[in-house]
Amino acid sequence: MPHSQIEARDPFNSVDRPIASVRVLQCGQAEQHWEHRYGSQRPQLLWVFFGRRWVLLPLQAFLIAHRDGLVLFDTGIDPAVQFDKSYIRQAIGRFLLSRIFRLDLKETDRVDHVLLDVGVDVKDIRKAVISHLHFDHVGGISQIPQAELLVSAREWAILSEPHPEKEWILREHIEIPGADWRQISFVPSDDPLFADFDGVHDVTGDGSMILLPTPGHTPGSLSMLIRQDGWKPVLLVADLTYEVAMLEADRVPGTGDPDTLRASFAKVRRLRDRLPGLEVVRPMISGRKRPSRAPQEHRILGTG
């Protein structure tokens, strides 16, 4: 969707509000173990191999129509992970993946197809903010070589650690030719709203999209606060939690670092206390029944 169309269709956007709309894009789905979602006292390997309860995990990205260009928050999964036996190089990885996730993908779940479904040409994506480097969040980056890819410097450092693939961070699908990665560092903010966080990063310089470090799921995971006059503020938290109610209840999942997760949960809850009306966004489906017709697109905010 070219910028001019956004303005033409959304008169308020030409006044003073930088963002026309925020949409969640459904990029396929998988199932995960109940213990993965809700946590367990049992050792991880036990439920990975012997867990029998599965819950539905929608795979998502978000599309923000900003006046400087279209921004993605995460890029979804590459369906090749299900259909191409060589997508994961290590045999142990391919073996474990099928024990951890039951993938249920179609070729059309790739981000370029998903965007086309909502009338957007993938070539018009200007930036992509990557919440963390797990394979189901970076799967679309090969489709957007023209876009700046923003990732936290802490998350990027994982690539230099031994065996990031053991954490489902697959170098071969991240360090790809042509990918325009930009490592961001969080800088201190004078705004008391962000006093709890170890800095902020303003994506477009107008305060409408603020990145906040929310580690725990991975060491460099980030969340994105979207706010502008006249809108309820929203916080996109990616995999910080699988369900907003779990963050509220201080309940950690079966993956990530529990103490770091709880520290990030507390920061997010305090942010919500300081920012009335803040909606923490993590669209999720309970149970394991697949919806008869999964919506391809859901507008959270705006009209563009």
Binding site for Zn ion (CB under 5 A): 134, 239
Which residue, 133 or 278, is less far from Zn ion as judged by CB? 133
Nearer to Zn ion, 73 or 194 (CB): 73
Give min distance, CB of 17 to Zn ion, in A: 31
CB of 215 to Zn ion, least distance (A): 12
User: How many angstroms separate the CA atoms of 29 and 58, rounded?
Assistant: 4
Task: Name the token pair of 289.
Answer: 């029944």
Nearer to Zn ion, 134 or 267 (CB): 134
> What's the token pair of residue 27?
């990029």
Q: How many helices (H) and strands (E) does the chain have?
A: 9, 13
The least distance separating Zn ion from the CB of residue 289, rounded to whole angstroms, comes to 23
Distance of closest approach, residue 220 Cβ to Zn ion, in angstroms: 11
Choose between 133 and 184: whose C-beta lies nearer to Zn ion: 133
Instruction: Provide the minimum distance between the beta carbon of 150 and Zn ion in the complex, in angstroms, as a whole number.
Output: 17
**Shorter beta-carbon distance to Zn ion: residue 10 or 136:** 136
Q: What is the DSSP string of 167-220?
A: GT--GGGTS-TT-EEEEE--B--S-GGGTTSS-BEESSSSSSEEEEE--SSSTT
Each as own residue / partner, the long-range contacts of residues 261-270 (CB below 8 Å, 24 or more positions apart, any chain) are 261/216, 261/217, 262/216, 263/216, 264/214, 264/215, 264/216, 264/221, 264/240, 265/216, 265/240, 265/241, 266/196, 267/196, 267/197, 267/212, 267/214, 268/214, 268/223, 268/235, 268/237, 268/240, 270/196
> Residue 173: what are its φ and ψ, rounded to 5°?
-110, 10
Name the residue whose CB lies closest to Zn ion: 134
Q: How far is the CB of 106 from Zn ion (least distance, A)?
A: 21
Q: Which is nearer to Zn ion, 112 or 239 (CB)?
A: 239
285/58 Cα distance (integer angstroms): 7
Least distance in Å: CB of 134 to Zn ion? Answer: 4
Nearer to Zn ion, 234 or 237 (CB): 237
